[in-house]
Structure 1
């Protein structure tokens, strides 16, 4: 899904709908998708997309890709950290 994206940069969030930290940061993730329309933003729930999220150890996990290659990743919440990383990789 992410690897076939034609956008030069993409961000993905893997989380669980039952995880309060994942729910809290989701609105920030969605707002960033509006702020950076040239980037692709993908959300995958670990319970609903087990094949796409099989190597996720912690939720939420944020991954950043450039031209199909993973260039960055971090775990946990942190609105400013997420904003900074999206800005850096967009």
Structure 2
């Protein structure tokens, strides 16, 4: 089940709105695509983390449809963490522990 703090992003405008609406929170964006097997493997763990971290906002961004917002993505999945609307961390991979550690580092 999708959590209340999880959003799907398909356009650059969706990304801009998501970051603006959540400027007061930490936002974690998972850039991936439906054909990426690593992205598919990551999703259940990403969803679980969102459920455990209700003070943060999470989003899954489809790179195939986003030209500007995903222009920095060279590998999928790429996870970006935003604070006050600005990117403060970015990493690649699907290791659940790596994701938890990086998100934990940004918590207040």
What is the TM-score when the length of structure 2 is the normalising length? 0.75
| Ranges in structure 1 where 5+ consecutive residues have no aligned partner | none
Are residues 35 and 85 of structure 1, via their aligned partners in 2, closer, same or farther at CA, if it must alter by over 3 Å? Answer: same
| Ranges in structure 2 where 5+ consecutive residues have no aligned partner | 1-15
TM-superposed CA distance for 1:81, in Å, is: 0.2
Secondary structure at 2:23's aligned position in 1? coil
Quote the RMSD (CA, aligned, Å). Answer: 1.4
Report the equivalent of 1:15. 32
TM-superposed CA distance for 1:85, in Å, is: 1.1
TM-superposed CA distance for 1:49, in Å, is: 3.1
Is the contact between residue 23 and residue 83 of structure 2 (CA under 8 Å) also seen in structure 1? no
- Give per-residue Cα distances to partners, 1:52-90, cap 9 Å, x unaligned: 312211100000111111111101221110011112213
* Separation of aligned partners in 1, 2:43 and 2:67: 19
Q: Are 1:24 and 2:52 counterparts?
A: no
